[in-house]
Protein backbone atom coordinates (compact mmCIF):
# COMPACT_ATOMS: atom_id res chain seq x y z
CA UNK A 1 0.00 0.00 0.00
CA UNK A 2 1.31 3.43 -0.90
CA UNK A 3 1.94 5.91 1.87
CA UNK A 4 0.54 9.44 1.60
CA UNK A 5 3.79 10.99 0.36
CA UNK A 6 4.18 8.37 -2.38
CA UNK A 7 0.52 8.68 -3.27
CA UNK A 8 0.85 12.46 -3.74
CA UNK A 9 3.86 11.96 -6.02
CA UNK A 10 2.03 9.32 -8.06
CA UNK A 11 -1.10 11.50 -8.28
CA UNK A 12 0.95 14.53 -9.39
CA UNK A 13 2.85 12.45 -11.95
CA UNK A 14 -0.42 11.00 -13.24
CA UNK A 15 -1.91 14.50 -13.64
CA UNK A 16 1.21 15.82 -15.38
CA UNK A 17 0.93 13.04 -17.96
CA UNK A 18 -2.38 14.61 -19.03
CA UNK A 19 -0.61 17.96 -19.38
CA UNK A 20 2.05 16.38 -21.61
CA UNK A 21 -0.60 14.68 -23.72
CA UNK A 22 -2.51 17.92 -24.26
CA UNK A 23 0.64 19.94 -24.92
CA UNK A 24 1.84 17.36 -27.44
CA UNK A 25 -1.53 17.36 -29.22
CA UNK A 26 -2.51 13.80 -28.40
CA UNK A 27 -6.11 12.98 -29.19
CA UNK A 28 -7.85 12.38 -25.84
CA UNK A 29 -9.08 8.91 -26.85
CA UNK A 30 -5.63 7.86 -28.06
CA UNK A 31 -3.96 9.06 -24.89
CA UNK A 32 -6.38 7.32 -22.53
CA UNK A 33 -6.13 4.14 -24.67
CA UNK A 34 -2.34 4.07 -24.20
CA UNK A 35 -2.62 5.05 -20.57
CA UNK A 36 -5.15 2.38 -19.59
CA UNK A 37 -2.92 -0.34 -21.06
CA UNK A 38 0.24 0.91 -19.37
CA UNK A 39 2.13 -0.83 -16.58
CA UNK A 40 2.05 2.47 -14.71
CA UNK A 41 -1.74 2.46 -14.50
CA UNK A 42 -2.03 -1.26 -13.83
CA UNK A 43 0.33 -0.91 -10.88
CA UNK A 44 -1.76 1.94 -9.46
CA UNK A 45 -4.89 -0.20 -9.78
CA UNK A 46 -3.16 -3.04 -7.95
CA UNK A 47 -2.11 -0.57 -5.25
CA UNK A 48 1.50 -1.39 -5.98
CA UNK A 49 4.06 1.37 -5.70
CA UNK A 50 4.76 2.40 -9.31
CA UNK A 51 8.38 3.08 -10.11
CA UNK A 52 7.62 6.60 -11.32
CA UNK A 53 9.80 8.45 -8.83
CA UNK A 54 12.94 6.99 -10.40
CA UNK A 55 11.92 8.02 -13.92
CA UNK A 56 11.60 11.43 -15.43
CA UNK A 57 8.17 12.46 -16.64
CA UNK A 58 9.49 12.36 -20.20
CA UNK A 59 10.66 8.74 -19.79
CA UNK A 60 7.35 7.69 -18.28
CA UNK A 61 5.41 9.43 -21.07
CA UNK A 62 7.55 7.59 -23.63
CA UNK A 63 6.99 4.25 -21.86
CA UNK A 64 3.24 4.82 -22.05
CA UNK A 65 2.81 6.36 -25.50
CA UNK A 66 5.97 5.47 -27.41
CA UNK A 67 6.32 9.18 -28.25
CA UNK A 68 9.22 11.41 -27.34
CA UNK A 69 8.38 14.84 -26.07
CA UNK A 70 9.54 17.60 -28.36
CA UNK A 71 10.72 20.91 -26.97
CA UNK A 72 9.58 22.68 -23.84
CA UNK A 73 6.46 21.09 -22.41
CA UNK A 74 5.88 23.55 -19.61
CA UNK A 75 2.98 25.95 -19.70
CA UNK A 76 -0.37 26.56 -18.14
CA UNK A 77 -2.65 23.61 -18.79
CA UNK A 78 -4.82 23.77 -15.71
CA UNK A 79 -7.65 21.89 -17.41
CA UNK A 80 -5.47 18.90 -18.31
CA UNK A 81 -3.85 18.79 -14.87
CA UNK A 82 -7.28 18.99 -13.21
CA UNK A 83 -8.53 16.10 -15.39
CA UNK A 84 -5.65 13.93 -14.21
CA UNK A 85 -6.32 14.78 -10.58
CA UNK A 86 -10.06 14.22 -11.07
CA UNK A 87 -9.62 10.75 -12.61
CA UNK A 88 -7.15 9.79 -9.90
CA UNK A 89 -9.52 10.91 -7.15
CA UNK A 90 -12.48 9.12 -8.76
CA UNK A 91 -10.38 5.95 -8.86
CA UNK A 92 -9.34 6.27 -5.23
CA UNK A 93 -12.78 7.20 -3.88
CA UNK A 94 -14.94 4.86 -5.97
CA UNK A 95 -12.45 2.00 -6.38
CA UNK A 96 -13.20 1.79 -10.11
CA UNK A 97 -10.70 0.82 -12.79
CA UNK A 98 -9.37 3.60 -15.01
CA UNK A 99 -10.78 1.75 -18.04
CA UNK A 100 -14.21 2.02 -16.44
CA UNK A 101 -13.73 5.72 -15.64
CA UNK A 102 -12.50 6.55 -19.16
CA UNK A 103 -15.42 4.65 -20.70
CA UNK A 104 -18.12 6.21 -18.54
CA UNK A 105 -16.57 9.70 -18.59
CA UNK A 106 -14.24 10.09 -21.60
CA UNK A 107 -11.44 12.64 -21.41
CA UNK A 108 -13.16 14.87 -23.98
CA UNK A 109 -16.16 15.10 -21.65
CA UNK A 110 -13.97 15.52 -18.57
CA UNK A 111 -12.23 18.50 -20.20
CA UNK A 112 -15.65 20.07 -20.76
CA UNK A 113 -16.37 19.76 -17.02
CA UNK A 114 -13.31 21.79 -16.02
CA UNK A 115 -15.07 25.18 -16.00
CA UNK A 116 -17.93 23.86 -13.88
CA UNK A 117 -16.14 21.64 -11.37
CA UNK A 118 -12.50 22.75 -10.98
CA UNK A 119 -13.20 25.12 -8.08
CA UNK A 120 -15.63 22.78 -6.32
CA UNK A 121 -14.82 20.08 -3.83
CA UNK A 122 -14.11 16.75 -5.56
CA UNK A 123 -17.21 15.28 -3.90
CA UNK A 124 -19.34 17.27 -6.37
CA UNK A 125 -17.62 15.51 -9.26
CA UNK A 126 -18.00 12.15 -7.50
CA UNK A 127 -21.74 12.80 -7.21
CA UNK A 128 -21.94 13.81 -10.89
CA UNK A 129 -20.07 10.67 -11.91
CA UNK A 130 -22.38 8.49 -9.80
CA UNK A 131 -25.32 9.91 -11.74
CA UNK A 132 -23.87 9.46 -15.23
CA UNK A 133 -22.51 5.98 -14.64
CA UNK A 134 -26.09 4.71 -14.22
CA UNK A 135 -27.23 6.02 -17.61
CA UNK A 136 -25.68 3.34 -19.82
CA UNK A 137 -24.16 -0.06 -19.16
CA UNK A 138 -20.56 -0.92 -19.94
CA UNK A 139 -21.43 -3.10 -22.92
CA UNK A 140 -23.94 -0.56 -24.27
CA UNK A 141 -21.22 2.13 -24.26
CA UNK A 142 -18.66 -0.18 -25.89
CA UNK A 143 -21.14 -1.11 -28.62
CA UNK A 144 -22.07 2.53 -29.26
CA UNK A 145 -18.44 3.65 -29.34
CA UNK A 146 -17.64 0.92 -31.88
CA UNK A 147 -20.78 1.79 -33.89
CA UNK A 148 -21.97 -1.81 -34.13
CA UNK A 149 -25.12 -3.69 -33.16
CA UNK A 150 -25.47 -6.41 -30.55
CA UNK A 151 -26.15 -8.79 -33.43
CA UNK A 152 -22.86 -7.77 -35.09
CA UNK A 153 -21.07 -8.38 -31.79
CA UNK A 154 -22.62 -11.81 -31.46
CA UNK A 155 -21.47 -12.81 -34.93
CA UNK A 156 -17.96 -11.45 -34.36
CA UNK A 157 -17.40 -13.05 -30.95
CA UNK A 158 -19.52 -16.21 -31.12
CA UNK A 159 -21.30 -15.20 -27.92
CA UNK A 160 -25.01 -16.03 -27.92
CA UNK A 161 -27.17 -13.04 -28.92
CA UNK A 162 -29.53 -13.39 -25.93
CA UNK A 163 -26.54 -13.53 -23.59
CA UNK A 164 -25.15 -10.31 -25.07
CA UNK A 165 -28.53 -8.61 -24.79
CA UNK A 166 -28.58 -9.56 -21.10
CA UNK A 167 -25.02 -8.16 -20.66
CA UNK A 168 -25.98 -4.94 -22.44
CA UNK A 169 -28.95 -4.42 -20.13
CA UNK A 170 -27.16 -4.99 -16.82
CA UNK A 171 -23.61 -4.50 -15.63
CA UNK A 172 -24.33 -7.11 -12.94
CA UNK A 173 -24.98 -9.68 -15.66
CA UNK A 174 -21.75 -8.68 -17.40
CA UNK A 175 -19.76 -8.93 -14.16
CA UNK A 176 -21.09 -12.48 -13.77
CA UNK A 177 -20.20 -13.49 -17.33
CA UNK A 178 -18.06 -16.55 -17.94
CA UNK A 179 -14.33 -15.96 -18.13
CA UNK A 180 -14.40 -17.24 -21.72
CA UNK A 181 -16.96 -14.59 -22.72
CA UNK A 182 -15.05 -11.84 -20.90
CA UNK A 183 -11.86 -12.72 -22.79
CA UNK A 184 -13.76 -12.62 -26.10
CA UNK A 185 -15.08 -9.14 -25.24
CA UNK A 186 -11.65 -7.91 -24.08
CA UNK A 187 -10.13 -9.10 -27.37
CA UNK A 188 -12.90 -7.71 -29.55
CA UNK A 189 -12.99 -4.27 -27.93
CA UNK A 190 -9.21 -4.18 -27.40
CA UNK A 191 -9.58 -3.12 -23.80
CA UNK A 192 -8.38 -4.35 -20.42
CA UNK A 193 -9.92 -7.12 -18.38
CA UNK A 194 -10.21 -4.68 -15.45
CA UNK A 195 -13.16 -3.08 -17.23
CA UNK A 196 -15.19 -6.26 -16.69
CA UNK A 197 -14.21 -6.89 -13.07
CA UNK A 198 -16.41 -5.59 -10.29
CA UNK A 199 -14.37 -3.89 -7.58
CATH number at residue 147: 1.10.260.40
Instruction: Answer yes or no: do 104 and 31 share one domain.
Output: yes
Mean pLDDT on 47-51: 68
Instruction: Answer yes or no: do 146 and 104 share one domain.
Output: no
Instruction: Answer yes or no: do 28 and 88 share one domain.
Output: yes
Helices (H), ranges, the chain = 4-23, 28-36, 39-45, 57-65, 78-94, 98-104, 107-117, 122-132, 138-146, 150-157, 161-169, 171-175, 179-189
Q: What is the pLDDT of residue 158?
A: 96
Task: Give the residue numbers spanning the domain of 76.
Answer: 4-132
Q: Residue 160: what are its φ and ψ, rounded to 5°?
A: -50, 135
Q: What is the pLDDT of residue 51?
A: 61
Instruction: Answer yes or no: do 49 and 121 share one domain.
Output: yes
Instruction: Answer yes or no: do 119 and 186 share one domain.
Output: no
- Closest among 106, 103, 107, 105 to 192, alpha carbons compared: 103
Mean pLDDT on 161-177: 96
Instruction: Answer yes or no: do 76 and 16 share one domain.
Output: yes
If one compares 139 and 68, the residue with the highest pLDDT of the two is: 139
Last residue of a domain, one of 132, 155, 175: 132
- Closest among 106, 115, 122, 20 to 70, alpha carbons compared: 20
Q: What is the pLDDT of residue 116?
A: 84
Local structure of residue 118 (DSSP, 8 states): T
CA 96/CA 74 separation, integer angstroms: 30
Amino acid sequence: MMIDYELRIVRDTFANLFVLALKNKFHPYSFTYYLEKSEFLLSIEKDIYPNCINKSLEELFFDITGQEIKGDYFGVYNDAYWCGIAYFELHMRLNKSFSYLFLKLPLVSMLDLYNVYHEMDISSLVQYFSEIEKKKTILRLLIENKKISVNDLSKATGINLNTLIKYSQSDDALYNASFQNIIKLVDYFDTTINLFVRK
